[in-house]
Structure formats: C-alpha cells, structure tokens
Amino acid sequence: MKHFRRVAAAAVAASALVLATGCAADSAAPADQTPASDKLAELVTAAQSEGELTFYGDANETSLQSWTQGFTEKYGITVNILRLPGSELFQRFSQEMSADQHQADVFSVADRVSMQTAVDNGWIAEYTPENAGLYPADQSEAGYFYPVQNGYFQTVAYNPTLLSADEIKMIKKDPIKAAGDPAFKGRVGVNMPQSSQQAAAFYYRYAEGDAADEYGWDALQAIADNKPLFYSSATLIQNLIAGEYAVAVALTDSLAAPQALQGAPVEFVYPKDTTGGYFAVGSVADAPHPNASKLFMEWATTPEANAAYTKITQTVPANSEVPDEREITGLDWYKAPDVANVWFDFTSDSDFLKASSADGDFLSHWNEVFGYSG
C-alpha cells in the first residue's frame, strides 16, 4: 500500500493579462479583462438576489451550522443544511439528480468514491474558486471539488469516567487489541464499515491489509466477542458520552475532538495503522441557486473560512496558508497520529476496492464475524 504525504499547495499565481499594442484595427478581440474584484462583486450581487442555498453534507451537523454561519454573516445568504450519514446522503443526492429534481446547491461528502461518481455523472459543476490552489492537489479534483473541510482520521475513543487508569493505559498501548480484551465485554460500541468507505478501509487494513499479519480477522473476532453495539458515527459519539459503553471503535476525530474541547467525557487514540481522508466539497451542477453555490465555494476556499472550520472541528487545516494552532494539541492526553503510517489512498487500492465492492466478500465476512444484519 502506498502512503500519503501531504504536499503543501503553492499559493495561487496571479494571471497576467497581455494587452495588445499597436494600431491594427483588425486585431483579435481581447479576452475578458474584468478585474477579479469586479467579478466577485457581480457574483455577490447575483448570489444575494437568490438569498439562500442548500448544503448537503455528512459532517457533524452542529459543526456545519457553526461554520456556514460565517458565510451567512458575511453575505446575508441563508444556508439550509441537510445532514445525513454518507451512504444515505449520496443515495438521496443521486436519486434527485438522476430524476432531474435538483435540491442541493453544494455537495460535501467524506466518501471519495461517492464524490468521484458525482463528478463522472456530471452532477458537480465545473468551477474553480480563486483560492483553489491553496489546497493539496492530490486531495482535490481541479475545477470540481476541494478539501475545504480538512482531513480526518479514524480513532478508538473512550469515556475516561467509565474506565480505570489501567484500562486507559491498555487502550493507549494498543486500542485495537484493547477493544477485543475480555475486560471490555459489553462495554464496546462500533461504527459499521457500511457507514463509509473510510470506515470499511479501517477494518480492512487490520483484517486483510498491511496490518493483517499483526492483527488479522482474529483481532476483529475478539472485538465481536465483546458483544458490541452498532451505531453510525454521529450516534456512536453521543452514546459514548452518555455512558452507554466505555469504548467506541472507528470514530473520526472530527466528531470527537470538538466534544472533548467542550468538556464532554471523551478522549481518543489514533491506532498506529489507522486510515484518513478528506471531505470533498463542490458546487452542484444546475443548482437551484447557482450563484450562491459558487460564492459559497469562493468563501469556503479562503484561509479565513478554513481557519474557522479548523477551530470548530479541531481538524488539521488543509489550506496551506492556515497555521496549525488547534487547542486539542495542548490537552495532556492528546497524541497526534503518525501521518507517515496513515492509509489515505485506499480509494485507489485495487485489492480493497474489489474486496469491499458489491461483488466482494469483505463486508459480508465482517457482518458474519460481528453478527451484524443491519
């Protein structure tokens, strides 16, 4: 497997307009020389006349509301948010777009395959914001989508109020093996691999991927033997905080970190062989509010908007001009992931894609091991 290395994107280069000289009356017509500031002003006026936009996303709803409020405050344009789990969100989006019943103006999803499918089907508009070049090229598709909502990593989270010091030490030493320790029987919740491609890759890496020699299906069987409860990520974090279980497997840091900063009883560990990804965000083709959609992408790609999202979610900033000043890094229990060992490119790994496809046997095997039928 290859491993991702973040390459800082270069700053956006200014495009120089070559002005024709001479007195030839039959020269070719010049290109559009409207200053960028004038074009943005025109876009703002058109977007404000539309008055609203609808944002489809699968990130934490509270985080999305807080973040998009910045856009509303700046431009006076209401942002209506539809938040669903990734698979449900894409199913709804694809059904609406296929039926030519467009509802979304901006589409954001963690699952890269879903976004790429949307691009391939012509559902994402071709549009390049002014600050597009400030985002990592290998996590973007130029002219279509950009990782303005940063990256996120899979963790094993825990409620420290429900654990002894020795149990916390066990989790920090090896969270995957700890989740399968009999000491945690009846005290574990898991996010299912069906909830997102990244969650599937997380389990696949241990069962059949490059960590299989150390863990394999036996490690997952041990977790299953602890009779875990099954929830999608948003519910998984809520119930962990509420004390329904002490340990949560395959929970993204973008959900856990904001809760931890607010004083909720949750901490988390990055397994050494974890997976990571980036939210892909793009303007929807034939959107009901096309100008508001484009203006949102202009705003979302600015350093200011990315800094705001970073502060809200405590995720690593993707914009090359935003310094990493996250508060979470100052907490005594927090330890950053070893990015060199994070698996990012599962989206192009042929073995994983085959195993996790409808024709593969990975998901059905996981269901059998865990006794999951949802």
C-alpha 37/C-alpha 15 separation (Å) is 14
Compare 117 and 60 and report the one with higher pLDDT: 117
Report pLDDT for 197.
87
> Is residue 31 helix, strand or coil?
coil
pLDDT band of residue 330 (cuts 50, 70, 90) is very high
- Secondary structure of 86-134 as H, E, C letters: HHHHHHHHHHHHHCCCCCCCEEEECCHHHHHHHHHCCCECCCCCCCHHH
pLDDT band of residue 35 (cuts 50, 70, 90) is low
* DSSP label of 360: S
C-alpha 368/C-alpha 374 separation (Å) is 12
pLDDT band of residue 1 (cuts 50, 70, 90) is very low
Compare 318 and 7 and report the one with higher pLDDT: 318
C-alpha 220/C-alpha 209 separation (Å) is 13
C-alpha 113/C-alpha 354 separation (Å) is 13
Q: Has residue 21 got a pLDDT over 50? A: no
* Count of Cβ atoms closer than 10 Å to residue 199 Cβ: 25
Poorest-pLDDT segment among 27-41, 120-134, 137-151, 208-222: 27-41
Range(s) within the chain of domains with CATH label 3.40.190.10:
36-150+279-301, 152-277+327-370
Q: Has residue 2 got a pLDDT over 60? A: no
Angle at 128 between CA 125 and CA 132, to 5 degrees: 130
pLDDT (tens digit per residue) in 214-237: 999 999 999 999 999 999 988 999
Tokens, residue 62: 């509270």
Mean pLDDT of the chain: 90
pLDDT band of residue 34 (cuts 50, 70, 90) is low
Tokens, residue 197: 């491609």
Report pLDDT for 85.
85
* DSSP label of 181: S
Closest by CA to 138, choosing from 280, 273, 311, is 280
pLDDT band of residue 60 (cuts 50, 70, 90) is confident
CB 191 within 8 Å of CB 355? no
Q: Has residue 112 got a pLDDT over 50? A: yes
> Percentage of the chain with pLDDT > 90?
80
pLDDT band of residue 3 (cuts 50, 70, 90) is very low
C-alpha 148/C-alpha 134 separation (Å) is 10
C-alpha 239/C-alpha 139 separation (Å) is 32
pLDDT band of residue 17 (cuts 50, 70, 90) is very low
pLDDT band of residue 13 (cuts 50, 70, 90) is very low
> Percentage of the chain with pLDDT > 70?
91
Average pLDDT over residues 147-162: 95
pLDDT band of residue 8 (cuts 50, 70, 90) is very low
CATH fold of 152-277+327-370 reads: D-Maltodextrin-Binding Protein; domain 2 (3.40.190)
Report pLDDT for 33.
53
Tokens, residue 12: 């956006």
Q: Which helix (H) or strand (E) holds 285?
A: none
Report pLDDT for 212.
98
CATH fold of 36-150+279-301 reads: D-Maltodextrin-Binding Protein; domain 2 (3.40.190)
Report pLDDT for 10.
33
C-alpha 179/C-alpha 202 separation (Å) is 14
Q: Name, in order, each residue with C-beta under 8 angstroms of 257's C-beta and a sequence gap of 6 or more.
A: 268, 313, 314, 315, 326, 328
Report pLDDT for 195.
86
pTM of the model as a whole = 0.75
Closest by CA to 301, choosing from 142, 154, 85, is 142
* Count of Cβ atoms closer than 10 Å to residue 29 Cβ: 6
C-alpha 259/C-alpha 245 separation (Å) is 16
Beta strands in 202-350 (DSSP E): 229-230, 247-252, 267-269, 276-278, 280-283
Beta strands in the chain (DSSP E): 52-57, 78-83, 106-109, 145-146, 151-158, 188-190, 229-230, 247-252, 267-269, 276-278, 280-283
> Is residue 151 helix, strand or coil?
strand
